[in-house]
Amino acid sequence: MSEHQHGPDCGCGHDHEHEHEEHVFIIADDQGEEREMVMVYTFESEENMYAVLLDRQDPERDGVIFRFEEEGDETFLVGIEDDAEWERVAAIYEEIARTENGEEE
């Protein structure tokens, strides 16, 4: 049996021409400077959802992790101020990044 190769004319019924939606946020740093940030990854820890954002103009710069919070029908990204929470989610993301990059511990 051969492996199915997806493409625009493969006939499988999937839309291969779609664009992936980019989630862009304007984030102000501690000095008030605004940067366009792109959400590149989300993950869950201890019943909270987190998002990793990268600077759209400088993707090599370190990512920033925010927690999702919901209020009514709206969802917000909030900074993580608790040191223990930050240590926990940073360690989780570092492990995810190592795994994604194929690195071993």
Q: How far apart are CA 31 and CA 33, in angstroms?
A: 6
Q: How far apart are CA 17 and CA 2, in angstroms?
A: 23
Residues 6+ away with beta carbon under 8 Å from 100: none
Q: How far apart are CA 101 and CA 29, in angstroms?
A: 28
Residue 99 has pLDDT above 70, yes or no: yes
pTM more than 0.75? no
Average pLDDT over residues 30-50: 91
pLDDT digits over 51-98, tens only? Answer: 999 988 887 888 889 999 999 999 889 999 999 999 999 999 888 888
94 in Cβ contact with 63 (< 8 Å)? no
Among residues 54, 56, 42, the alpha carbon closest in space to that of 89 is found at 42
